[in-house]
Amino acid sequence: MDRLLVTGGSGLLGSNVAYLASTRFDTLFTYNAHQVNIRNCTGVKMDLGDRERVGAVVREFSPHIIIHTAAILGKQCDENLGLAQTTNVDGTGYIAVSAKEVGAKLIHISTDWIFDGKKELNTEDDEPNYLNEYGRTKVKGEEAVQASGASYCIIRTSLYGWNLRVGKLSYQERVLDSLKKNEEFYAPDDQFYNPILVNILAEALFEIYAKDITGILNVASSEVCSRYQFCRTMAEVFGLNSDLVRPVGFSPAYFGIPAPKHQSLDVSKAKGLLETKLPVIREGLSEMKRLRDTGYVTRLRREDKEALHG
Ligand SMILES: NC(=O)c1ccc[n+]([C@@H]2O[C@H](COP(=O)([O-])OP(=O)(O)OC[C@H]3O[C@@H](n4cnc5c(N)ncnc54)[C@H](OP(=O)(O)O)[C@@H]3O)[C@@H](O)[C@H]2O)c1
């Protein structure tokens, strides 16, 4: 079995990747502030800002593949400039240099927020032009990966899914939460993106490793929609009242920082390379519902202390 190191195992993407990988890889995941338990995986604490610790974890496990999901996201970066730099830029550099040292393939998770949102659909060849500190540090993180000499694939994506940690809600889980409580949810009808379910993204990442795809690759849904359309479709798929989803004009106030108006990623290249089907929005959301209905979320959280005692 190949050894896989997943950073950010306590996060939305990392926990699902580690859980799904655990039957196919010898899987070690890292967490930082939030200790979690994941089926058939070993978890270790690792602060990306601690160069020695990052090097030691990678050398000791000597993975064949590293999926680097850990990061500080969104507004938190503007609120903690130093932390965003040490985590998203320096820490990513430590991971990349360590990957090179042990000969691991590095799959680095980047974002659609590295663009300024002027172009409707960004390809892998478009030059990043960020609007905020999150975008800046993710661009610098990509550059650190590219400069490291490691074999890498940088994944630019937008994502949603079920969190392992019970009290931690993704944007989409917050939509469901509000609608279930019969509360209105406001979403921009003039801001566009193509997020993908983390479970489908994880399958794409495993395929990228198996096929040794390198370079930069956009992996997202194959359909673009506004946040408003996304939330309405979500309500419909989950059998909730879609009239509670209200349109609102796009403005920086929505995210607390300047954000790109068009966040969509052109996935033509990925479609040509991958057998993993990149779904349209309704398909992805239907799969998210199916996962809940068939007990996936319960199983994902089964071994986690927070879920057991929370
Ligand atoms: N969520 C989205 O909408 C989205 C969209 C596009 C791209 N992405 C990218 O996808 C990746 C995963 O996002 P996500 O939504 O899964 O994030 P998340 O749920 O916020 O999880 C972030 C993870 O990073 C870890 N982390 C934070 N600071 C750290 C540090 N100093 N040292 C080590 N680990 C640290 C956290 O660990 P603790 O909680 O244990 O501290 C957590 O496991 C990120 O690289 C992000 O840029 C996300």
CATH number at 22 reads 3.40.50.720
Tell me what pLDDT residue 307 has: 61
**pTM listed for this prediction:** 0.97
Average pLDDT of the chain?
96
Q: Is residue 253 part of a domain?
A: no
Q: Say how many Å lie between the CA of residue 8 and the centre of ligand 1.
A: 6
Ligand 1 pocket test target in 45, 54, 67, 69 with most atoms within 8 Å of CB:
69
Q: Is residue 247 part of a domain?
A: no
Taking the CA of residue 36 as reference, the ligand 1 atom at the shortest distance is 40
Q: Is 135 helix (H, G, I), strand (E, B) or coil?
A: helix
What is the longest distance spanned by two Cα atoms in the chain? 54
Ligand 1 pocket member 264 (CB < 6 A)? no
Tell me which of 69-73, 113-117, 249-253 is least confident.
Answer: 249-253
Q: Which residue has the tokens 């996935």?
A: 267
Q: Is residue 288 part of a domain?
A: no
Confidence band of 197 (pLDDT split at 50, 70, 90)? very high
Owning domain of residue 76: 3-167+194-220+266-280+295-309
Question: Which residue's alpha carbon is at the smallest distance from atom 1 of ligand 1?
Answer: 159
Mean pLDDT of all residues in 130-136 = 96
Ligand 1 pocket member 284 (CB < 6 A)? no
Q: Is residue 216 part of a domain?
A: yes
Q: Is residue 106 part of a domain?
A: yes
Q: Phi and psi at residue 164, in whole multiples of 5°?
A: -70, -40
CB 157 within 8 A of CB 112: yes
Question: Which residue's alpha carbon is at the smallest distance from atom 21 of ligand 1?
Answer: 11
Does the structure show a pLDDT above 60 at 310?
A: no
Ligand 1 pocket test target in 73, 145, 255, 304 with most atoms within 8 Å of CB:
73
Ligand 1 pocket member 8 (CB < 6 A)? yes
Confidence band of 275 (pLDDT split at 50, 70, 90)? very high
Ligand 1 pocket member 54 (CB < 6 A)? no
Q: Is residue 250 part of a domain?
A: no
Q: Say how many Å lie between the CA of residue 198 and the centre of ligand 1.
A: 13
CB 95 within 8 A of CB 54: yes
Query: 110-119: per-residue pLDDT in tens?
Result: 999 999 999 9
Question: Which residue's alpha carbon is at the smallest distance from atom 24 of ligand 1?
Answer: 70
Does the structure show a pLDDT above 90 at 295?
A: yes
Mean pLDDT of all residues in 187-196 = 96
Tell me what pLDDT residue 255 has: 87
Confidence band of 286 (pLDDT split at 50, 70, 90)? very high
Ligand 1 pocket member 16 (CB < 6 A)? no
Tell me what pLDDT residue 306 has: 63
Tell me what pLDDT residue 309 has: 62
Q: Say how many Å lie between the CA of residue 241 and the centre of ligand 1.
A: 31
Taking the CA of residue 113 as reference, the ligand 1 atom at the shortest distance is 6
Q: Say how many Å lie between the CA of residue 31 and the centre of ligand 1.
A: 10
Written as six digits, the tokens of 122 are 């960004």
Q: Is residue 113 part of a domain?
A: yes
> Pick from 86, 113, 112: which is nearest to 32 by CA?
86
Question: Which residue's alpha carbon is at the smallest distance from atom 19 of ligand 1?
Answer: 11
Mean pLDDT of all residues in 96-117 = 97
Does the structure show a pLDDT above 60 at 82?
A: yes
Written as six digits, the tokens of 162 are 């079920």
Confidence band of 150 (pLDDT split at 50, 70, 90)? very high
Taking the CA of residue 168 as reference, the ligand 1 atom at the shortest distance is 19
CA distance linking residue 281 with residue 63, whole number of Å:
34
CA distance linking residue 282 with residue 275, whole number of Å:
19
CA distance linking residue 245 with residue 235, whole number of Å:
8
Q: Is residue 88 part of a domain?
A: yes
Ligand 1 pocket member 88 (CB < 6 A)? no
Q: How many residues does the chain have?
A: 310
Tell me what pLDDT residue 152 has: 98
Number of domains in the chain: 1
